[in-house]
Amino acid sequence: MKKKINVYFIILAVAAILLSILLSNVVSYTLLQKEVYADLAACAYALKGTDSFDDPQNITYEQSSQVYRITLVDTEGVVRYDSSADILELDSHLNRDEILKARKNGVGQAIRHSDTLQTDTYYYAILLDNGCVLRLAKEASSIVNIFVSSIPYLIGIILILILVSVLFSHILTRSIVSPIEQIAENINYIDTNKVYRELRPFVTMIKEQHESIVKNVEMRQEFSANVSHELKTPLTAISGYAEIIENGMASTEDTIRFSGEIHRNAKRLLGLINDTIRLSELDVSNIEVQREPLDLFALASSCVNTLKVKADKLNVSLRIVGEVCMINADKEMMYELVYNLCDNAIRYNNKDGSVLVLIGENSDGNKYIEVKDTGIGISKEHQERIFERFYRVDKSRSKETGGTGLGLAIVKHIVAQNHAQLRLESEVGKGTMILVTFPLDMNVLSEV
């Protein structure tokens, strides 16, 4: 690009130089012509003012210098006087251009070119009161001659100008390209105000993409660190209990207890691994969602049935309200969504609390899932963050109840993959409501 701009600048400069030289030559030649004619006219009228040519039979004029050639042509076209030629040898001048014009209009002018001498002869003729025409002539260099004689100077000037223009085009190109080069060097430190206006949308877009890539990488790094950390705790516990049993240091009673701990931690490990795998599957932006017409109410009911045992154990009542609700959706995703929301509503509930699952269609025709609990609630400052991976309000409660810290992150991904809307309302000590509303394009078109 730099090279191209540079070359264009040089071509432009050279063309401009040549054109201006050509034009200035034409202009100066035109001015020269005007000057010569003005000289000739002034002289002709001065001569007319004298009475030297009043009588063609008796011309009293005597030429003192040979600056102009003076000719007197009578009414018949016969040359009566010529300052630089023998009048007897001259033929009739009646048809000369300037003479014809002078006879007709009072004045006439003409230029005749001599190829051999490379000169132009300028003629200026005026009509005298006695009917004769007084003609003055002067030789001057032709435009070709002027041009040829100025060639050495022109070459010198052109060379200097080209040199200067090459230098300037180089400097100009650098000043044009350098802001773009700066952008390429480090997009992070670019002040958009200093960027070319035309490039601003482009730079802003690249900057945003760059920032999102960096953020993504950071998130992934943080996630990997978190996963390793989360895996380490149950593994350490399993290894510790197993070692005690292996060394025969545990009594039969302890062995049973330790085996239980190993089992619980192994289950936690499995849960963690499953959720991590699921999350990375859902993280792919162009994941294939296997949509099929399904009854959301039936699916949620079966999920509620599965969780009933857990709810009973914690003395939490679990209820589902709704009717057949057909939707075009991925079965697995919908199950996970209901499961995670209900599971949380049970685990973060109080003794004798309740969970209500509502499946239905709102006034706009959108299908929805609503999970309401009378649990511990979430304070405002945590509400925004609970959908982040491994973000927990109460870490120990989450772990005690078998939480992985990934449930709501999975919910958020499923919501995003389905272009659904998520609403959370919660008050500490009162309970939480999470509403997922599906877009209209997931509705099943009734068969005709």
Closest separation in Å from C-beta 402 to ligand ADP: 8
Which residue, 165 or 265, is less far from ligand ADP as judged by CB? 265
Which residue, 61 or 391, is less far from ligand ADP as judged by CB? 391
Which residue, 96 or 413, is less far from ligand ADP as judged by CB? 413
Closest separation in Å from C-beta 399 to ligand ADP: 8
Report the interface residues with ligand ADP, using CB under 6 A. Answer: 340, 344-345, 348, 373, 375-378, 386, 391-394, 398, 403-409, 432
Q: Which of 232, 251, 230 is nearest to 240 (CA)?
A: 232
Which residue, 33 or 401, is less far from ligand ADP as judged by CB? 401
Residues 6+ apart with CB under 8 A from 303: 335, 338, 339, 342
Closest separation in Å from C-beta 340 to ligand ADP: 6
Which residue, 109 or 404, is less far from ligand ADP as judged by CB? 404
Four-CA torsion 242, 246, 247, 251, nearest 10 degrees = 80
How far is Cα 82 from Cα 61, in angstroms, rounded to an integer?
A: 11
Closest separation in Å from C-beta 274 to ligand ADP: 12
Closest separation in Å from C-beta 412 to ligand ADP: 9
User: In terms of residues, how long is the chain?
Assistant: 448
Handedness of CA 324, 330, 336, 337 (dihedral sign): negative
Which residue, 354 or 404, is less far from ligand ADP as judged by CB? 404
Query: Strand ranges (DSSP E) for 403-442?
Result: 421-427, 431-437
**Phi first, then psi: what are they for 70, rounded to 5°?**
-110, 130
Question: Half-sphere exposure of 281 toward its Cβ, with a 13 Å CA cutoff?
Answer: 13
Closest separation in Å from C-beta 394 to ligand ADP: 5
In the numeric block, which tokens belong to residue 5? 């701009």
Closest separation in Å from C-beta 389 to ligand ADP: 8
Are the CB atoms for 50 and 43 separated by under 8 Å?
no
Category of 370 on φ-ψ map: left (φ > 0), alpha (ψ -120 to 50) or beta: beta
b/e sequence 279-288, b meaning 16+ C-beta within 10 Å: beebeeeeee
Closest separation in Å from C-beta 356 to ligand ADP: 12
Which residue, 128 or 273, is less far from ligand ADP as judged by CB? 273
Which residue, 21 or 424, is less far from ligand ADP as judged by CB? 424
- Helix runs in 186-251, H state only: 200-246
Closest separation in Å from C-beta 404 to ligand ADP: 5
Structure-token match 């449930």, residue found: 407
Which residue, 36 or 406, is less far from ligand ADP as judged by CB? 406
Q: Return the H-helix or E-strand segment holding 119.
A: strand 119-127
